[in-house]
């Protein structure tokens, strides 16, 4: 159904029917419920803290022995936060936190090449997001620190990190 048809349909039915349909959507679909819960009670700090806890658990697990170190966990949170409309400052913080915790994890381990490539992609996305949202003044120091650590620890794809940082200039 197109947006135009939906608008026409909504204009033809009465307010009570619209309310009923919204309540039905709220009960049936967890995404709708989560959206309205966020809109009316945006506990952004709590959401960010939960995300950071789960991201750090990927690299330094509390309950299992071996870390999974999946970038996808952080990416799901970031995409979800963007979809909900969380403050860009908080999204940028989560993006950089993911990179920082990955650097701590990598420090004394033998890591496969795919890890470095995915972290380079995360770094590129973070730089783009921060520059598009005008947050460079606040996060430039953290970005440069992450970049410096990748160079000091001789991360693979170092030139990719360098190219990503060139976006800022």
Q: Is residue 87 very low, low, confident or very high in pLDDT (cuts 50, 70, 90)?
A: very high
Angstrom distance (rounded) from CA 126 to CA 129: 5
Angstrom distance (rounded) from CA 166 to CA 149: 16
Residue pLDDT, tens place only, 21-60? 999 999 999 988 888 888 888 888 888 999 999 999 998 8
Under a CB-based contact definition with an 8 Å cutoff, are residues 158 and 151 in contact?
yes
pLDDT score of 39: 83
Angstrom distance (rounded) from CA 142 to CA 133: 16
pLDDT score of 109: 80
Q: Is residue 168 very low, low, confident or very high in pLDDT (cuts 50, 70, 90)?
A: confident
pLDDT score of 42: 82
Mean pLDDT of 111-118: 88
Burial of 34 (0-12, 13-18, 19+ CB in 10 A): middle
Burial of 79 (0-12, 13-18, 19+ CB in 10 A): exposed
- Of all residues in the chain, the percent with pLDDT exceeding 90 is 51
Mean pLDDT of 106-122: 87
Residue pLDDT, tens place only, 147-166? 999 999 888 888 888 898 88
More confident residue, 111 or 50: 50
Under a CB-based contact definition with an 8 Å cutoff, are residues 123 and 161 in contact?
yes
Angstrom distance (rounded) from CA 66 to CA 138: 35
């Amino acid at each position: 159904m197109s947006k135009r048809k939906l608008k026409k349909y909504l204009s033809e039915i009465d307010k009570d029917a619209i309310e009923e349909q919204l309540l039905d959507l709220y009960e049936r679909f967890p995404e709708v419920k989560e959206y309205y819960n966020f809109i009316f009670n945006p506990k952004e700090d709590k959401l960010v803290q939960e995300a950071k806890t789960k991201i750090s658990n990927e690299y330094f697990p509390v309950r299992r022995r071996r870390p999974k170190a999946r970038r996808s966990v952080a990416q799901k949170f970031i995409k979800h936060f963007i979809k909900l409309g969380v403050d860009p400052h908080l999204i940028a913080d989560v993006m950089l936190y993911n990179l920082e915790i990955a650097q701590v994890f990598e420090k004394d381990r033998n890591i496969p090449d795919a890890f470095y490539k995915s972290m380079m992609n995360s770094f590129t996305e973070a730089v783009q997001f921060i520059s598009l949202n005008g947050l460079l003044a606040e996060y430039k120091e953290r970005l440069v620190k992450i970049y410096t650590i990748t160079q000091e620890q001789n991360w693979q794809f170092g030139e990719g990190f360098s190219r990503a940082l060139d976006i800022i200039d």
